[in-house]
Structure 1
C-alpha cells in the first residue's frame, strides 16, 4: 500500500532515458539548445518526459556550463507604481529574450552588495540594479567574474559598469519653463527627506535653472517618497502658501499625497491657487481625481535601453563602458493653467 503522505520521487534524466529507450546523453542533447539529436529520438524523449513530469534542472546545468540563463534584478520600493511597472517590463523583456529573471528586494535595510553577491552564487548571466547604487567593490567583482552589471538611474559607482540615466536636466528645465509660462513666479520644490540620486538630480536641475533666471525656489524636503510622505509634505507647503504659486513635486507618487493634502486638508484650489508639476507619469497621474501635469519618464523606453545595454554587453564583453540617456517630455493636464 502506497503511503499517501510520502514525498513524490524526483524524476531524473535516467528515468526518462529508460522509458524512452535511449541513452542518458540523448536526453541531455534533447534539452540542450543547438545540440544534435534525431527527430525520432527527440519525439521519444519529449513523450517520456511528459509522461513522467520531468523538468530540466536549470541550476544544475548552469553549474556545469559556468553560466545560466538567469538574470538578477535588484529593486526597492515595490509599492511605488513606477517601480512596479518598471520591474514588470524588465521581467517581460528578459523572458522575451530567453532569460529568466530573479527578483531580489533591495530595501533600505538590505545591503545591495550582499544581494548581488548572492546572485553570483547562482552563476547568473547578468544583473540589473534599480535600487541603491552598488559599491565599487561588488561592481568590480562582477566584472572579474564576467557578469554584466547594468545600473538604472544611479550615480557612477566608480567601476566601469553600464548605466542608463534619465535626462534630469531636461526634466527640471521642462518643469520650470512650464510653470513660468503658466504665470508662476513664486516657486517651491518638494522632495523626500532622503533623496535618491534621481530625485536629487531632478530637484537640483529645477533649482539651478530657476536661480539662473533670477527666480528663488523654496525647498521642501519632508517624509518619504510615498503617498503618505506627500500628505505630510502638504502641511509644509500650506505654511508657505502665500509665498508659493508654483510647485514642482519630484515624483508622482509623492505628488498624489501633496495634491490630496492641499485640496482636502487645507482647502487650496489647484491650479487656481497653486499650480503643480510632478514627475514620472505613473498611471494614477492620469486618473480624473488627480489629472496631474507631469514630466513623462517612459518606463518602456527606460527598460528597452536597459535590456539593450545588457544584451550588447553579453554579446561583446570587451565593449567600453556604456552610458545612455533616456529622454523625457512634459504632458499637461489639469494641475497647471494653459500657458
Structure 2
C-alpha cells in the first residue's frame, strides 16, 4: 500500500496564492488576516485535506493543549468510568487527553517523563497513592497537577476527593439502622488513602453508635480476588458478626461470592460497599452501597486544572458529597 506525503502549510499557501505566514495566521486564533485571504486559505486547506499539526505547534510554543491522564488499576470498572468522564469533559473544554496507564512508582515516573517530553499543558492523576516525588517533580517543571481522591496536606498540587469520612460514617449508620450490633470493616492490605480513611471513619462512627467493631485485612488488592480472599478468611468467624462494610464495591462482589452457600445475606449478615459500580446493581449482587459521582469528580478536576492554567494557585482540597444507595444486601431501612 502506498501513502501520499503529508500535506504541509506550504502546499496550502501555493494553492491559495498566499504566503506561508498567511496560512499560519489563518490557523492561529486571534492573528490578523483579511477575510478574503482567510477564505482562500480555508478553501485550499479543504481541497488538500490539510490539518494543522497541533503537536508540532505546541512543541514550538513550549506548551500543548494535551493533558496527561495518569491512570492505574484500569481493570477496575469505577476507574474506567472516571477516565471516560475525564476524557469527554477535557475534549469538551478544548483539551486533548493523553492516556498513560501505569503500575507502581517506576511506571508513574516513566509517565511523568513522557508528559514532559510532549510538553503537556497539565496532568490529572487518578491514583490515590502517588509518590511524593512525582508531585515535587511536576512542581519543579511548573506542570499543573490535579490528584484525585487523595489528601493534599502540605502538597503543591490540587486535590479533589469524595468525602471518605462521610462515606464511612454513613455505612456505619446504615448498618445500625438495619439493626446490626456487631460489625466489621473488611479491606485489603494494599495502601489506599480513601479506603483507609473510610474504614477509620466507619469504626469511629460505629463505636459512637454503640456497636461492637472489628477489622479484617485479608487479600492484597482492592478487587474481586482480594474481596473473595477476605470472604474466605471471614467465614470461620462469621457467626460473631451481623454487619460488614467492605472497602469498595469491587471487593464486596468477591466477598459476597465467597459467602454463597454458607451465609444468608441479608438474613444473617448485612453487607454494604462503597463506590456504586455498575456491577453492584446486577441481580446476582444487588449491593447496598455509597455513591460518589464520577461525573462530578471529573468536572471538578477539569475546572481546577483550567484555573491553574490561567494562573490561579492550586486549590488545596475539594471534597465532594456522597449518598446512600440502598439495595438488597441490607434489610429494608
**Structure 1-normalised TM-score?**
0.92
Write the mapping of 1:118-267 to structure 2, written as runs, cut at 5 A. Answer: 118-131=114-127, 133-156=129-152, 158-223=154-219, 224-263=221-260, 266-267=261-262
- Which is worse superposed, 81-90 or 54-63? 54-63
Residue matched to 1:326: 320
The answer to whether the 8 Å contact 1:112/1:132 transfers is no
Q: What corresponds to 1:56 in structure 2? A: 52
2:276·2:290 contact (CA, 8 Å) conserved in 1? yes
* Residue 256 (structure 1) shift: 1.4
Matches of residues 74-89 of structure 1 in structure 2 within 5 Å? 74-89=70-85
Q: Report the alpha carbon displacement of residue 198 of structure 1 after superposing the two structures with TM.
A: 1.1
Tell me, in whole angstroms, the C-alpha distance in 2 between the residues paired with 1:23 and 1:68: 25
Q: Provide the secondary structure at the position in 2 that maps to 1:240.
A: helix
Q: Where do 5+ consecutive residues of structure 1 fail to align?
A: none
String of CA shifts for 1:34-86, please: whole Å, max 9, x gaps: 22223332232222223323221112111221111111110111111110000
| Aligned partner of 1:107 among 103, 106, 116 | 103
> SS where residue 183 of structure 1 aligns?
coil
Q: What is the rounded CA distance, in whole Å, between the counterparts of 1:194 and 1:37 in structure 2? A: 58
| C-alpha contact (below 8 Å) 2:170/2:324 kept by paired residues | yes
Supply the distance in 1 between the matched residues of 2:140 and 2:319 (Cα, whole angstroms): 26
d(CA) in 1 for partners of 2:127, 2:274? 18
Distance in 2 separating the partners of 1:27 and 1:160:
41
Matched, 1:315 2:310: yes
Structure 2 unmatched runs, 5+: none
Aligned pairs (5 A) from 1:280-319: 280-317=275-312, 319=313
Take 1:186 and 1:34, find their aligned partners in 2: how far apart are those partners?
Answer: 66
Q: Given the superposition, is the C-alpha separation of residues 109 and 322 from structure 1 closer, same or farther in structure 2, using an over 3 Å criterion?
A: closer
Q: Are the aligned partners of 1:106 and 1:132 in contact in 2 as well (CA < 8 Å)?
A: no
**2:329 is aligned with 1:335:** yes
d(CA) in 2 for partners of 1:195 and 1:10?
49
String of CA shifts for 1:236-277, please: whole Å, max 9, x gaps.
Answer: 2212110111010111111112122212xx332110011011
RMSD: 1.9
Report if the CA contact (8 A) 2:26-2:33 is conserved: yes
> Which shifted more, 228-237 or 289-298?
228-237
TM-score of the aligned structures, taking structure 2 as reference length: 0.93
Q: Aligned partners of 1:322 and 1:96: how far apart in 2? A: 25
Shift of 1:288: 2.1
Alpha-carbon distance in 1 for matches of 2:214, 2:107: 34
Distance in 1 (CA, whole Å) between partners of 2:155 and 2:231 is: 40
